[in-house]
Amino acid sequence: MNQLVTAEPWKLVLIGLAAGLVGGGLGVGGGIVLVPLLVAVGFDQHRSHATSLAAIVLIAATGAVSFGMSGEVALGTGVTIGIGGIAGSVVGASVMHRSNPRTLTIIFGIVLFVAALRMISGASPLAGAAGFGDLTQVVVALGIGLVAGFFAGLAGIGGGVLIVPSTVLLLGLSQYQAQGTSLVAIIFTAISGTIVHLKNKRVRLKDGLVVG
């Protein structure tokens, strides 16, 4: 689809509202809503993923502030996951640039399926998860960020569908704290992935800002 196809601003605002509700409510960036809706209003597959990630920067930042004001953010953990997410997101965004639209569609479908399973099954901390030593927690958090960041850059999501259950299961966070912490980490992954997408000329930045 031609990259010059434009969407009416009111449609972008409605898309942003929908993504914000999902992102704030579930502790995710909202990309599971953004990507298919951006495709529906005329974005090609690559630009829907890239523009979604740009919008997620603002969505995640706003959500993180809201959760933080309620005391539901483990800031150090979120930053650590975010540091791992930077590396993962850069790699994922680079892979996205080289992938064909059909492959991206399949990958996004898999991500949606995983997200659906997570929402249905929920998550409970693994026995002993809360007892990890400081170094182990750092290594686990970096690993979570690396994997989540990769899929963030690749699929145009924030990575919260992986971060939230992982921090509950592996780090022993409560559900609400996991959601708030996830949004902090997503800020890092979304910014780094968006920078790569900008270099590759995949982002419709103005539209991303309107959505965000």
Is residue 2 included in any domain, yes or no? Answer: no
Q: What is the pLDDT of residue 168?
A: 85
**pLDDT tens-digit readout, 136-186:** 889 999 999 999 999 888 888 888 888 988 888 888 888 889 889 999 999
pLDDT in tens, 19-53: 878 766 666 667 888 888 899 898 998 999 999 99
Minimum mean pLDDT range among 126-130, 141-145, 196-200: 126-130
pLDDT at 136: 86
What is the spatial distance between Cα 173 and Cα 178, in angstroms, rounded to a whole number?
6
Q: Please check whether residue 186 is in contact with residue 171, taking contact to mean a CB–CB distance below 8 angstroms.
A: no
pLDDT of 28: 66
Tell whether 117 is covered by a domain: yes
For residue 193, give Cα distances in angstroms to 2, 148, 207: 23, 12, 17
DSSP string, 116-129: HHHHHH---PPTTG
Domains: count for the chain? 1
pLDDT higher at 192 or 28: 192
User: pLDDT value at position 2?
Assistant: 42
Q: Sorting pLDDT into bands at 50, 70 and 90, what band is 8?
A: confident
Per the domain annotation, does 3 fall within a domain? Answer: no
Asked if the structure places residue 1 within a domain, the reply is: no
Assess if residue 140 is contained within a domain: yes
Work out the angle at residue 55's Cα, subtended by the Cα atoms of residues 117 and 103, and round it to the nearest 5 degrees: 55
Higher pLDDT residue, 199 or 132?
A: 199
**Residue 57 identity (one-letter amino acid):** V
Could you report the per-residue pLDDT of 83-103, keeping only the tens digit for each?
Answer: 999 999 999 999 999 999 899
- Inside any domain, residue 67: yes
- Distance between the two ends of the chain, CA-based, in angstroms? 23
Domain assignment present for residue 4? The answer is no
State which residues form the domain around 22.
Answer: 9-211
Distance CA 81, CA 171 (A): 11
- Asked if the structure places residue 196 within a domain, the reply is yes
Spatial distance between the Cα atoms of 129 and 125, rounded to a whole number of angstroms: 6
pTM above 0.75, yes or no: yes
The residue among 120 and 180 whose pLDDT is bigger is: 180
CB atoms within 10 A of CB 76: 14
Q: Rounded distance, CA 168 to CA 161, Å?
A: 12
Owner of token pair 């706003």: 62
Q: Where are the alpha helices (DSSP H) in 70-155?
A: 75-98, 101-121, 134-155
pLDDT classification of 3: cutoffs 50, 70, 90: very low
Q: For residue 22, what are its two tokens? A: 């999902």
Structure tokens at 55: 């919008």
Identify the band that residue 131 occupies on the pLDDT scale cut at 50, 70 and 90.
low
Would you state the structure tokens that stand for residue 5, as one six-digit string?
A: 């196809």
